[in-house]
Each structure stands twice: as C-alpha cells, then as structure tokens.
Structure 1
Amino acid sequence: MPTTVAPIPNRSPSEIIALRRQHINPTLSMSYQQPLKMVRGAGAYLYDQEGNAYLDMVNNVCHVGHCHPSVVAAGQAQMAQLNTNTRYLHDNIVEYAKRLSATFPPELSVVFLTNSGTEANDLALRIAKTYTQANDIIVVDHAYHGNSPTMIELSPYKFDGKGGRGRPAHIQVAEIPDDYRGRFRKDDPQAGSHYAQDLQRAIAAIHARGEKPAAFYCESVLGCGGQVVLPAGYLEAAYAHARAAGAVCIADEVQVGFGRAGDHFWAFEAQGVVPDIVTMGKPIGNGHPMGAVITRPEIAQAFITGMEYFNTFAGNPVSCAIGLAVLDVIEQEGLQAHAKQVGDVLLQGLNELKQKHTLIGDVRGMGLFIGVELVKDRHSLEPATAEANTIIEFLKAHRILLSTDGPYDNVLKLKPPMVFSMDNAREFLWRLDQALFSVS
C-alpha cells in the first residue's frame, strides 16, 4: 500500500507567527506590520487564506508568473520519470546549456549550473581567482551578491549593515554610480566614465597591499543600491580599468536577467559590453531553486585544474526541464517585449505622478525593473524613509504588494512577474496616486 502522507494543519497567521518564533531563527524576517499568510499564486497574483487576491509587484523570482502551468507541468513530468545527478548522461542538461548560451553574445559559451544565485556568484569567484591567480575583489557600494560567507564578504549591503563586520581587507568598494544622489548627476554626459574612475583608486589600494585584483563584480542594474540604472558608459569604462589591471569582469544578472530589461534579454547589453562571466539565479527557474554561470571558453579552460566541480543537485533533469520551460514561456508569450511595453507605461505614469507629488524625487528603471526614490526635499534629497514605508502599508491594505530598498530604505522597488499587465499598471498608478496624497 502507498504511504499515507500526513496532512499539514491549516493554522491561523497568529499561530504560524508563534511557531516561527519558537522554531525558526528570528533573522528570517517577515514582511509588513501584520504579516500575510499566502496559500496560492497565479500569474501576477498571490492569494491569502481567505481567498483575497494581492497584486504582486515585488516578486522577480516567479518570473513568468506564479505557478505557470507549462513550468509546473514540465517539472511534474520529469520528476515522475527521473531525477538524478549529472554523472549520468541526460539530454536535459546539454539542451539547457545549448539553449541558454544561445541567448548570450557568442564570446560567452560555457555554462556551469548551480542551485541559486548565491551559488552562482560563489562559483564565479572561484573561477575568477583560478583564472587570474589573484585574490582581491572590487565590488560596488551597497551591492548584495548572496548569503554564503564568501558572498557576505563581497556585499557592502551586508558587511556595512546591521550585524556586519565591516569591509574585509581583500575587498575594495567602488563608488556607487548613482547619478541622482551621487557626485556626478544626470546633467553630466560623462557621469558613467567619471564614476568608473574610482576603480583606479580601488586597484591602487589592492596594489598597495602587494596583491592583484581577481575580479570586478557589478550588477547590470543595481538592486539593493536602490534600483539604480547605470549611467551610460559606466561598464565600458569600468571594465577597461579592471581588465587593464588583470581582473575579470563579472556581471551579476541574478535580479535583472531573462528579458526583464525589455530592450535587451540581458541588462548588461544596455551598456554595450560583453562581460567575462555572467551569473544568474532567481528568475531562471520561476521559483525552483536553480542558478547558472556562463563564461568565455578560455576562462573555463583555466578552471580545469584536476579539482572536479561537482554539485549534487545542480543541473539535475528536473531543474533543467523547468529551466527549459521558462525559456519557452518567455519566447512564446513574448514576455521581453511585454516588459518593454508595460515598463514604458509605468515609467511614463510615474513621471506624471512626479509632476503632481514633490515626494517623488526620481523615477528610474528599464523594462519591469523600476525604482521610485522618495525625498522630503528635492534640493537636499533628504530621504523620505518613513513616508516610503507608510506607502507600502497603504498599498498592502489595498492589496498591492510592494517593498522598499536603497541605502536609505526610501526607494519603492517595482519588479513584478513578467506577466504584469497594462491593467495591472494602471491600477497600481491609481493606487500610488492615492497613497502619495495620503502622506502629503
């Protein structure tokens, strides 16, 4: 007889919170003053235990929509047939590597598979250090690259935040290229190259330690830094400085890849560059734990040292089936073009709200990755942190899920599932208008 699986009790939110406090470490945070219990997802919506629908504008993990039927079916079918490690031959892993690499410039053709964006960034670090035979790393201020010990060391968002131990000696932090709040502003056509000059200072600091730079890490659009779109020319100039010093250039696409940028499948393409290594995570599996690294053949070749790279779960048939389904859905449903169209409507509507509400200091983004920075004063740029969090709670009360980010926690971050519609955009803009009036 088949095993009977015990049903999971249907608990109230207060009971779940009590059990979390008893059995789960409190460092695992919850959203909102009164946390929500979600029981179902579909498309751009999450549903609570009472059946209320919430428009999800913050989940860039369920990239092609919550519980997309094609992705679910692909995972179920493969799980019912076989799931094993990559030491056995299987069609799925080579088909996925082939399909994924076809979305990149031809220089990037060798794929490594992982279980998360953190693992992808961690592996990219190993590859970079092996190729360059160097140790020190340059990262951008306020960046977050993952939750492993080595990635916390690479993440100013963590090591300079609460509970952090400060910058490790082998890490140099480059100035954040924020052309709204930083030293060089939007009216400077050379802002990108001016910000990139700071890599020279970081490289000099590494040389002063008697070391060499192994890698320059940079998100293609800055997430935890406040949804910051890199100024034109930044990566071209920064990559030139890094490569001249012998470092490889790593583009972190964990948040912004797979067509979210709208005009491009990969956000680094907006800067007209080709990185040496690209890391992926979050949207790659639509909620299934999966990540990837892609690099140039010569860099991959240098990683062949006699030490095997084996990852028990990475590249398994189920993960690859799901990854392939995600690529199919993006292509067949035209989600990259959709992100461009809906994102343009959002950006236009947000800029119109900026004309009405002085609390909006800046609107920025590309495709369906957008930031709205709130300030108390447009001249001093004093962050409107409390107001931003009040707006988040207002929207939650009206069943729209949003969050904040940035060094001052004053940037509304918009990164909804890619199936977010024109009607969804109009509903959000209407509600945000109300929310802004409520705090003015």
Structure 2
Amino acid sequence: MPAQSDNTRGALFDPVFGAGDLATLLSDRAWIAALLDVEVAITRAAEKHGRATAADVTAVAAAAGELTRELDPAELGRLSAAGGNPVIPLVKILRERAQAPAAAVHVGATSQDVLDTALMLLAHKAGRLVVAELRGAAEATARLARRHRDTPMVARTLGQQALPTTFGALAATWLVALDDATASLDRALVSLPAQYGGAAGTLAAVHPDGLAFADTLADLLGLARPLVPWHTARTPVTGLAAALGIAAGAVAKPATDVVLMAATELGEVSEDAPGGSSAMPHKRNPVAAITARAAARRVPGLVATALASTDHEFARAAGAWHAEWETLTDLLRLTGGAAHQLSVSLAGLHVHADALTRNLELTGGAILAEKVAAVLSEHTGSAREIVTAAARAGTPLDRDPGIVEHLGADRVRALLDPTRYLGHAGDLVDRALAHHDTTADRPLGGQA
C-alpha cells in the first residue's frame, strides 16, 4: 500500500487562511497515526494489567509504525465506508500485520474508544499550536498597545464618531479578549480525556481491571483520566468547540477593526506587506487581516454543529458522533489559521498618527460636545439642547452664540482639545498590559 500525500485535505487553501503549519497535525495521515498510537497504547495498557506480553507490545508497535508510514489514507477511506468509521478496517489490518495474537490488539475496546481518543490526541497536539498562535497575536497586540498608549484617535460607536480615545486603548480591548480566549482554550486542552468504555461503556471485557485500565491508557497518552466513559456525554467535545469559538471571536474583532481602519477613506493603519489586486494596481489590501476574518467567520457555524450533535442516544449515537470528527478538526484548523494571520497582520501593522489626528479633527470639535455640555450646564439648564442644536446645524461650538455667551470662545476652544478628554484611556492600557504580562509568563497547560 504506497503512501500518498501526507496532507490530502486543504493543501490549496490552508496556506491562504493561515493553517499551513496545522495541516500536517490535522491531515488524514495524522489521523491514521493517532488511531495507531491509541491502539499501541491499548496493548501497552493490557500488558501492564496482565492481558498482553511485552513481546505483544513490541510486535504491535512495530506493525503500527509500518502502517503509519505506508498505509494509504484513500485506501483506508474506501475500506471504512462499509462500517462507517476507519477503526474497523484499521484493526483488521493491524491484526494481520502484527506478529502477535489477535487478542493482544484492540483489547477490550470498541471503535468509538479508539476514534474518540485519537481525536483528543489530535486536538491536544494541534491545540497547543493554536494556543501558541493566539499568544503570538496577543504579543503583537501588547506591543501596539504599549507603543501607542497615548496616541489619540477617535472612538467610533454604531459606525459614527463618538469621543476621543487612544489607539492604545483600542488595542487593549483586543489584548484582553485574546488573553482571555487563550486561557480558556488552554484549560480546555488540559482537560481533554482519553476514552475507554468497551462496547457499551461498561468496561465489561476487561472487568475487574476496567477503571484502572482506562486510567493507564490516559496516562500513557498524556491525556486526562476520564471519570467515566463519555461515549454519549460529549462535554469534552463541546467544551473544546466552545473554547475555539471564543478564540475565533477574539481574533475576528481586531481583524475587523484593522480592515475598516485600513480603508482608503480612513487610512489609519496599513499592513507591512499588503496584498495587491489582479485588476487594480493601486490596491493595497490588508490581506492578513482579511483572511484572519474569513477563517474566523466559518467557526461559529461549526461550533453550532458541535453543539447540535450532543443528543447522543443511549450508549452510542447514530450520526451525531460521526458528525463531530471533521467538525472539530476543521475548528482547530480555522481558529489556528485565523490566529496566525492576525499575528502576521498586527506584528507588521503601521499606525498612521497623522491620519488618526486628521480623522479626530474631522467634526471640528463636535465629538467634544459631551464635555462642552457638561461645563455649560453649570451656567444654564438648557445646556444639552443648546449644544445639540449647534452640533446638528454644523456650527463650530466655539462660534455658537448660545455657548460662547456663557463660556467665551477661548474656553470653548480649550474644551475642544481631544487630548484633554481621554478619560482613563492610558490607565486602561496599563491595566491590560499588566494582566497580559502576568498571563504571558505562565507555561502552557499540560506541558512541563
């Protein structure tokens, strides 16, 4: 059985959406390797509990190594169609290849045990890379927040100019969300459990060693010990899916802001290596942010699929279980890719202070109307109405008679200085950075 391409899915689009480094970890060949790793671990656990010999372990491990290198994913896929999952034909091939008794392979296990545990292995390995990509994006964000702590810009609410803020304060909101999402995903990965319950989840085939056998299997694979078999209690899957959904959302927010701020009319930021257009030579597209946003956009639907597949009937689901396999690996691929592309975007992001200032002054001081109204209210009970009328008429506030008669033009002009109405913008940046510096020093969960 000749080996085919190591990555039989996503070779065309994974690099576009940032998942190039995840492709190998989530490829069809990686699936086969994970399935065989679980089978070898089952035989090792059997040996530790007196149900297989050391020679059996050696033989099964040798055969599994050969199959990992040689087995054609396309051929295994064809063989899997009849039984509805790849474990059935894989166990048959492994038993034929291994120089060991058939009883030393797949000891006490069912197909779901092997497939669920392999999925957890893949998720744990790929998830570590996703966490690293999220941390990379957060580090780039922290540098921007620190560098532009006091760089003034206009805050926008509901698509309209609102009040002055700083670019650092905007970046701080990105940073906190990325740090929270990273911590959430890290916790989910640490808790991923092995699966071992046998045909109906009772461990009957390895009684009275079943509970110890399951714990041994988890320890051998570096996964969490399951409290009970979770064949139809899918919180490990939904917990991971939800954490990936949260992470994708944390990525999508800054990616969206970058895309909007890079628009020609705003010109407030630009990427270090913008993409061009096949038709328009003048275009400088923020491609990294665009593709980060694109990858993240596909995630909520997949999270919904995972959550909709929790109604596993009785001791094994007919269809809901099967729907999870590619859903979860696609979630990992997309979230990791989105985080990678965001990291690329933010690591080379140019913040154009001149454009920020230009846009901050676009309303001629109207964005300081709140401040002017507050001061004017000390002199008249109609302050809000007077300032609102001036703003709606487009009259500069330092020229409006109803305002100037109480405050004087010079005082109004002083009130219209946006750098004097930044509130706690700088303090918020400092707090976000302090939190980030604390969390960034923590080791990844599940790693020494």
**Short-chain TM bin:** under 0.3
TM-score (norm 2): 0.22
Give the greater-gyration-radius structure (CA).
Answer: 2
TM-score (norm 1): 0.22
**Normalized per residue, which structure has more helix?**
2
**Normalized per residue, which structure has more strand?**
1
